[in-house]
A and B are shown apart, each in its own frame.
Chain A
Amino acid sequence: MLLENGKISSLQLSLLIIGFIFGASVIIAPGQQAGHDAWIAIALGLMEGLIIAGIFTVLTQHFKGKTLVEINSLVYGKILGNFISILFIWYLFHLGALVLNNYSRFLKLELYPATPKALTLILIMLVCALTVRRGIEVLARCSLILVTITILMAIFDTLLVAPHMDLQNLLPILDVPIGKLLWTSHATAIFPFGDAVAFLMVLAFVNKPEKSRSAVFKGILIAGLVLIGVAVRNAAVLGQMVAIYTYPTYITAQVIDIGDVLTRVEVLVAINLITMGFFKISVVYYGTVLGLAQVFNLRSYRPIILPIGILMVILALTNVSNTTEMFDFANQGYPIYTIPFQIAIPLITLLVAKLRKLPQTRGEQA
């Protein structure tokens, strides 16, 4: 029995990836450690991110129509394959909890200081659970509308903030030490670009598998270019202060004031976070429940949607004690922690599959 009957087009896949990459990065500016050189760090990170995408898309091209859990079972056998799959599912689950945590922390700090974090988490989790229950096709259709609106809003914000931009703020270029720049660019490659490895659980459902590779690259490239644009805008408006603010994109939008009439436009940024965060959480949530259903050989992933959602909310509530710890993890531990999941698992699986000459055609198996 097929666990997922839906199919998505390559355009929907690209938009889904754009939404996924925007996810938390609309708010947590990637490359922020590099200060006003963040755009350089993002550009370098984008290149490394495309290499990571190259690895996992080669793997899915090799095993068309199969998720990573199915690929692992074929390549390593049932026991070792399921063990590696559970490690990957843990990564997806943890990533979901981290995004939820960022999400609730931002809402608590900037928008709803009196609302309990648990309530915002439960509400977004319910929306994501309903979407995941409907399958990948519904999520992909949402992306068409919501990602387009988000990009338009980003352009709108940038136009409104243009009078406050001073391109001199971008100078001197390459002001940060090269070691720090390279580390920041690696961190940017891992988050947000490398996180797209979660699509190893989604690429199996693209209606034209031969186009999925270019769709992934297009999605990452467009998202990367928009993020570079946002980083340039933030640095041009905020100058050296860009490295100090927790949420520079939000602060940049706060500057907008058109004749004392059009103010508090930063809420548009918050809307972007809410919609794009929804995509990122839904994709990793979907990957987690689908992966677990495949590992445990279930007939449907739907019965475990709500319990896994609850566990994700609990991890989101408890995984860090404060915002500083969250940023420490994002900048220090996360770029190392994710290497096994984003690079090692897809790369080693691909190499083992090549060595074992997998997948075998029907004639070879006989």
Chain B
Amino acid sequence: MSALVLIGFGIIALIQIPGLVRKQWWRELICFTLFWSLGLVLAVILSMGIKLPPLTTIINETITGMLGI
């Protein structure tokens, strides 16, 4: 599963990065790399079967707890 994730992210990088380097769009390249890396780390964690905290549930519990709903 992790291998599939890595292949997928590799393909996305191959599609995007050469064009950005050719145009010398460095700011865009930095932004792309930032979000791409974050996505890669989270996707690998998920593919390894590690559960990420359910963000929406945490937001819901915080709001309902604060307001006593």
Contacts and interface: CB of A to CB of B under 8 A. Distances in A.
For chain B, what secondary structure do more than half of its interface residues adopt (helix, strand, loop), or is it mixed?
helix
A318 B45 CA distance: 12
Contacts of B56: 94, 97-98, 101, 319-320, 325-326, 329
A317 interface: yes
Interface in B1-57: 9, 12, 15-16, 20, 25, 27-29, 31-32, 35-36, 38-39, 42-43, 46, 51-57
Contacts of B16: 303, 306
Contact of B35 (A299, A308, A325, A336): A308
Contact of A319 (B35, B51, B54): B54
B20 A317 contact: no
Interface string A103-135: 000000000000000000000000000000000
A334 B38 CA distance: 26
A329 B60 contact: yes
A333 B42 contact: no
A314 interface: yes
B39 A314 contact: yes
Nearest to B36: A307
Contacts of B54: 318-321, 325
Contacts of A304: 28, 31-32, 35
A336 B29 CA distance: 37
Contacts of A297: 27
Interface string A304-334: 1011101100110111110001101100111
B12 A299 contact: no
A292 interface: yes
B57 to A, nearest CB: 5
A325 B60 CA distance: 9
Contacts of A94: 55-56
A307 B46 contact: no
A321 B12 CA distance: 29
Contact of B27 (A101, A296, A311): A296
Nearest to B16: A303
18 contacts: A101-B56, A296-B31, A303-B25, A303-B31, A304-B35, A308-B35, A310-B35, A315-B55, A317-B46, A318-B53, A318-B55, A319-B56, A325-B57, A326-B56, A328-B64, A332-B69, A333-B61, A337-B63
